[in-house]
Structure 1
């Protein structure tokens, strides 16, 4: 499966989720390719720290940008169980190429009004991509960097659920220090010496749904 993490706004935790998903799949014994399609190269930096911390990464990393990303990913699909693509936080050629070649697009939204304002631009981009694909792209949205307890979470979730072009997943990723603390040394939250079990439960629920259509039994 090719899973692309997309956004047209930075700061929503897209790269954190992409790298965490790659590490999570690798921990399950899957052969994983992580594609860094972002000019900021956050996934590459994470992987460099990961190799320094662990001595190995558990997955293969490649940097691909521009229109060639599509052809290169298509050529590499048979070699891996899963391919995770991290794209930039804006509408770029790389992001469009990723959306064309992916099976699934994961679009995180932070529960802030100025983040939700971008949704019409996202819908326009998705409509353009769907119109040129031979098979429909599965689009998932979810809350990222969500407040632990806030009415904003509910309001943004309701807004995202109202768009038929998108499938909203009710498995929010909270704004927990565990994510930034572990990412800073190239680890996923479940790899910490003393993991934040609530953070781990959140990613288990989200990722299991994407792969299998259900969520883990772990509760937050």
Structure 2
């Protein structure tokens, strides 16, 4: 199914305050998924760990330059300045930020339309909620229009009570707009990335991984 995304011109930031929540997996898969809808995509690596850049370099090497998107590295205030200039040149922009409250992430939030907040279902992940809320309380008043926020479980367990407990806490914070499109911690994501691929491209398909991401991505782009 091809979506009519070109007319929307959206900027997505994938972020948070805690590392290890799978932000780069979401960012790179979103960039590839959007490109497969026929859109011209810019992926911005605004994370000092440069994981999106590493993935893209390996993808470029293994697939002879057929990336499906353009990648740039930006940090600090340059994130806001450069994206404002680059926005007219691309259909959509995906920004991968680090797992800390950085100048890069704050700059990204001022120019983005959508803020994606993946949370892993562990107590120490949920403890960062107050920091995320404090960040949003500082950023939202400085924007012309409210930032659209989607929080969701990423690297979720296949079973156990941790998912439910994390979901309950996220639901209690209405500002985070929890959406029930969990992405389970599946081997398929690491296997695909090791080949420079998204889960949409890796063969054989992990139908569950594909279905989970498609459900999330359709929801945030509708």
Task: Pick the TM interval, shorter chain.
Answer: over 0.9
Which moved further from structure 2: 152-161 or 110-119? Answer: 152-161
1:160 maps onto 2:170 in alignment: yes
Task: Give the Å deviation of 1:134.
Answer: 1.4
Q: Distance in 2 between matches of 1:93 and 1:186?
A: 29
Q: Name the counterpart of 2:26.
A: 17
1:99 maps onto 2:109 in alignment: yes
1:82 maps onto 2:92 in alignment: yes
Q: Residues 59-104 of structure 1: CA distance to partner in whole angstroms, max 9, x if unpaired? A: 0000000111101101111111110000011010000000111000
Q: Name the counterpart of 2:40.
A: 31
SS of the residue 2:174 aligns to: coil
Q: Name the counterpart of 1:201.
A: 211
Structure 2: stretches of 5+ with no match in the other structure: 1-9
**Which of 45, 50, 62 is the equivalent residue of 1:41?**
50
Which moved further from structure 2: 162-171 or 196-205? Answer: 162-171
Q: Distance in 2 between matches of 1:169 and 1:74?
A: 28
Q: Distance in 1 between matches of 2:129 and 2:67?
A: 34
SS of the residue 1:190 aligns to: coil
1:108 maps onto 2:121 in alignment: no
**Which of 78, 82, 94 is the equivalent residue of 1:68?**
78
**Which of 152, 158, 162 is the equivalent residue of 1:148?**
158
SS of the residue 2:175 aligns to: coil
SS of the residue 1:86 aligns to: strand
Q: Distance in 2 between matches of 1:184 and 1:12?
A: 18
Instruction: Count residues in correspondence.
Output: 212
**Which of 167, 173, 198 is the equivalent residue of 1:188?**
198
Q: Name the counterpart of 2:3.
A: none
- Give the alignment's TM-score, normalised by structure 1: 0.95
SS of the residue 1:143 aligns to: strand
Q: Name the counterpart of 1:3.
A: 12
Task: Give the Å deviation of 1:151.
Answer: 1.4
Q: Name the counterpart of 2:189.
A: 179
Q: Distance in 1 between matches of 2:162 and 2:68?
A: 37
Structure 1 residue ranges, 4+ long, deviating more than 6 angstroms after superposition: none
